[in-house]
Amino acid sequence: MNVSQVLVGILTTSCLVSISIYWATGSIGWAIISPIVLQVGYFVYMLWTVYGAEAAEADAEPESVGPLDRKDGIWL
């Protein structure tokens, strides 16, 4: 997925959320705040996913695995 597809998806989602919130509440303020909160939450989740995985890998001790371990729980 390239950057233009991500940006189109982000803008489309933000517009749909804004329209839905405006219809539900009738407030322009909530219609502006809600997509901002949505995008901040998405950004925080992405940071947590990336850096959480790196921290878990750094903390984990290397396993002694056999040469035929496929890492999916099946040993040959």
Task: Give me 30's structure tokens.
Answer: 């909530």
Please say whether the beta carbons of 17 and 38 come within 8 A: yes
Query: What residues does each domain of the chain span?
Result: 3-59
**pTM for the whole structure:** 0.58
Q: What is the pLDDT of residues 17-32, one digit of tens each?
A: 999 999 999 999 999 9
Question: What is the Cα–Cα distance from 3 to 6, expressed in whole angstroms?
Answer: 5
Is the model's pLDDT at 75 over the cut of 60? no
* Comparison of pLDDT for 58 and 16, the residue scoring more: 16
